[in-house]
Structure 1
Amino acid sequence: MSDTDVIRTHRLTRYFGSRPVVHDLDFAVPRGQIVGLLGLNGAGKTTTIRMLLGLLEPTRGSCEVLGTDSRELTPSDRARIGHTVEGHFLYPWMRVRECERFGRETHPQWDGGFFERSIRRFGIDSDAKVAWLSRGQRAGVSLASTLASNPVLLILDDPALGLDPVSRRALNETILEFCESGERSVLLSSHLLDDVERVADRVALMVDGMMVVNTTIDDFRNRIASWVIEAPASPTTSEALSTPIPIPRFVNCRPVGERWQLTVVDPGDDTHAALAAIENSVIEPVEVTFEDAVLAYLSRSRVYHSFYTEDAS
């Protein structure tokens, strides 16, 4: 954690009934950076965002946004935070130019020029009614309205869901433009891994309410390794490839046709020794993409090794 962080959480936890949806979450968003928040549906991403915005009380732990406890955010604090939600709610009876006027009248730091540039980027007619717009165009108006309020922190919850490729590119370009000064920051929750890889500086990966990865995109890729294993079926092979215990820092093993693809984090001499002990096998290293690394974590209902523990559990 750093004094320049715009978001900080400390053991942030939220239960619904007896079930922990977010559990002991510790992570930060540094000023001037874009952080991709990733996880399967139900991983706790939206619950985390709601707690950050002060819309949901933590069961225990704490979170700060722009140096203020999220439970104590004032209207002036909230004016510095831009937030878009899945679905991009807008008043359907308004025309786009009326959305701009509404924003100008309700936000003292409104930047009308940014709004106009943004809707042009999305190919939107300012005279069009919101009810006539496509899903991608509504997303463009929603994002333009959020950014034109001149926030210093942008929190986006699945903003590209359902967008066509052109609208997705416009969204990514707008996010990058928003952060280019180095003084503004973005927390981007998304299922679109290629978009996150394209725009984000860091990745924060949640599994079952816990943060298992929180690092830079490059560090994440560099610390993950994968091998394709060709081996005949045998008790030794089956045990080595289907359980986490024999392979140090095991993440995932999945069948690929008649072969297996094994993924680990921070491989060392002990990892190579464990691989060499698999009988009658041919083992070849394979390149790991960002998407491969993320899916290796997400394709398990339980992750046996994270970046933060020394031993498999």
Structure 2
Amino acid sequence: MSATHLSVVPAAVPVPSLPAGEPVIETEALTLSYGRRNALDALSLSIPRGRIHAIVGANGAGKSSLFRILLGFQSPTSGRARILGRDCASLSAGDRARIGFVNEEHSLPAWLRVDEVVAMQRRLYPRWDEARYRHIAEHFNVDASQRIRELSRGERAGVNLAMALAQRPELLILDEPTLGLDVVARRALLETVLESVDESDCTIIYCSHQMEEIERLADNLIILERGRLMHMSAPDDFCRRVSLWVAEMPFTPGKTADLPGVLQVQRIDGLFHYLVLDHGEDFAQRLEAAGARRVLRGAVGLERAVNAFLTRGHAAPTEASR
């Protein structure tokens, strides 16, 4: 998707609000097929209002397909989708004014000056907040007299984010917004996102492959796989579902990789590391029954837990070193 802003609303159009308690995004058996392949496979999802919801998944999980349908750019094969209480297939100009969208391309008309692009956006959104735009743009040291083609990628990201938040959206979708940014621009963007949540009632959907960003930002973790919802909870709750067991085996442990709940097995410095889903001390007993001399339990960070969950069943090296 290359469109960064969903702007086609005159200032006179009234902007409705979402009733309290209604999900900002709701899908029911949502399916999008390309021939025999399902990009979305009967996806049923309900995202509550407020805070930051992170959507993660491997390439091909269906994230971009979901966004295209939610924003009204594509029709599903079957099922239904609603955004801010509205049918995604019939979004009005007023509906679109309630939604902000920023993607990884940060594409803007290269020949225009920053102030010219902002002037166009200012006329299109009835709730435009100039003070908010200027405050955010200052985080990225954007010179309003520069042409877009003269900006760095980080500065373009800052302009896009500032314009999206200045329209005062009820829902802001950020699709890989830090991709390709340097450490300074990435930090400025993440701080701006956190600040915007604290200062407004805007709900944010944040899509990223960077788990350190998800760990810092997200209140809710949504994992998609092959177009299906696989998990939704607070990130800490997901980490508690995944445990690390390190076992000393006197011999090759046979088929312990096939034990229930095993996501990943690695041999590191002669010890076998098991990442396991939804098991407690009972898993240690299973390893001991398989011949383990010693078994230790360790904590698992979000990145390692999510990666193991998404790559379960994939071939892994049998020997590695730290």
Does the C-alpha gap of structure 1 residues 278 and 19 become closer, same or farther in structure 2, counting only changes over 3 Å? same
The equivalent position to 1:238 in structure 2, one of 232, 254, 263, is 254
Partner Cα separation in structure 1 for residue 264 and residue 21 of structure 2:
36
The equivalent position to 2:145 in structure 1, one of 127, 132, 140, is 127
Does the C-alpha gap of structure 1 residues 219 and 292 become closer, same or farther in structure 2, counting only changes over 3 Å? same
2:215 aligns with 197
Residue 292 of structure 2 corresponds to residue 274 of structure 1: no
Q: Could you list the per-position Cα deviations for residues 155-179 of structure 1 after superposition, in whole angstroms to 9, with x for gaps in the alignment? A: 1111110111111111111111222
Residue 44 of structure 2 corresponds to residue 44 of structure 1: no
Partner Cα separation in structure 1 for residue 133 and residue 199 of structure 2:
18
Partner Cα separation in structure 2 for residue 28 and residue 165 of structure 1:
33
Q: Could you list the per-position Cα deviations for residues 2-53 of structure 1 after superposition, in whole angstroms to 9, with x for gaps in the alignment? A: 9332111222221111011121222222211201111112211111111111
The equivalent position to 1:116 in structure 2, one of 108, 118, 134, is 134
1:308 aligns with none
- 1:89-168 pair list within 5 angstroms: 89-168=107-186
Unaligned runs of 5+ in 1: 303-313
More off after superposition, 289-298 vs 267-276: 267-276
Q: TM-score, normalised by structure 1?
A: 0.88
User: Number of residue pairs matched?
Assistant: 295
Partner Cα separation in structure 2 for residue 138 and residue 180 of structure 1:
24
Residue 226 of structure 2 corresponds to residue 214 of structure 1: no
Partner Cα separation in structure 1 for residue 24 and residue 237 of structure 2:
21
The equivalent position to 1:262 in structure 2, one of 252, 257, 274, is 274
Partner Cα separation in structure 1 for residue 184 and residue 155 of structure 2:
11
Partner Cα separation in structure 2 for residue 69 and residue 233 of structure 1:
59
Query: What RMSD in Å do the two structures reach over aligned CA positions?
Result: 1.8
Does the C-alpha gap of structure 1 residues 198 and 20 become closer, same or farther in structure 2, counting only changes over 3 Å? same
Task: Kindly provide the amino acid, as one letter, of the partner of residue 185 in structure 2.
Answer: S
Residue 238 of structure 2 corresponds to residue 226 of structure 1: no
Tell me how far 1:76 sits from its aligned partner.
Answer: 0.6
Q: TM-score, normalised by structure 2?
A: 0.86
Paired-residue identity, %: 37
Task: Kindly provide the amino acid, as one letter, of the partner of residue 172 in structure 1.
Answer: L
Unaligned runs of 5+ in 2: 1-19, 315-322
Structure 1 runs (4+) greater than 6 angstroms displaced: none
Q: Could you list the per-position Cα deviations for residues 235-269 of structure 1 after superposition, in whole angstroms to 9, with x for gaps in the alignment? A: xx12112x2xx23x332223334333211222145
